[in-house]
Amino acid sequence: MKTGIKILATLFALGLGSQVAAKTCEMSIDSTDQMTFDKKEMTVAADCKEVKLTLTHSGKLAANVMGHNWVLSTTDNMQAIAQDGMQAGLDNEYLKPGDDRVIAATDIIGGGESTSITIDVSKLEKGGDYTFFCSFPGHYALMKGKFIVN
């Protein structure tokens, strides 16, 4: 069954190659008062030119108590970004200003809020080792997942 879908997808891509290459893809992820994301893994197709990512927070707690953001980096850089972010504070969205290890990041939001960013997929390598996480102090241990470029 999966092979059949793949063949169909390939045929589709061959026929509509130029349109597929320019497409904008959308992804969403929810966060909670329990310090969790609702996804452990997110996959983006490498033929998406951009991804519009929306982070929601379905909890009730305020941003200074249980704030969440969505930060994308290589897996190697995650811990250092989170540690520097802790010292940067909420005023800086818990990220060191100008940190070029950060590939993409949303603002910190509190319960009931949502925020969106657009990610330039050309910055990402197909098959690269990427992780998404929350840089609010202490959260990345639980709030992280694998970001796959397929």
Task: Single out the residue of 57, 96, 139, 144 in contact with Zn ion (rule: CB under 5 A).
Answer: 139
Residue in the shown chain whose Cβ atom is closest to Zn ion: 134
Taking alpha carbons only, the member of 126, 119, 130, 128 closest to residue 74 is 130
The contact pattern for Zn ion, residues 89-128, with x = CB under 5 A and - = no contact, is ----------------------------------------
Provide the minimum distance between the beta carbon of 5 and Zn ion in the complex, in angstroms, as a whole number.
35
Q: Where are the beta strands (DSSP E) in the chain?
A: 24-31, 41-44, 50-57, 71-74, 104-105, 114-120, 130-133, 144-149
Is position 136 an interface residue for Zn ion (rule: CB under 5 A)? yes
Which stretch, 22-30, 50-58, 72-80, 131-139, contacts Zn ion (CB under 5 A)? 131-139
Cα of first residue to Cα of last residue in the chain, in angstroms, is: 19
Distance, CA of 76 to CA of 131 (rounded, Å):
9
Is position 134 an interface residue for Zn ion (rule: CB under 5 A)? yes
Provide the minimum distance between the beta carbon of 76 and Zn ion in the complex, in angstroms, as a whole number.
21
Taking alpha carbons only, the member of 73, 71, 42, 61 closest to residue 112 is 61
**Which residues, in sequence order, are CB contacts of 5 under 8 Å at separation 6+?**
none
Residues 20-59, interacting with Zn ion (CB under 5 A): none
Work out whether strand 144-149 and strand 41-44 pair parallel, antiparallel, or are unpaired.
parallel
Is position 147 an interface residue for Zn ion (rule: CB under 5 A)? no
Residues 57-96, interacting with Zn ion (CB under 5 A): 68
Site residues for Zn ion per CB under 5 A: 68, 134, 136, 139, 143
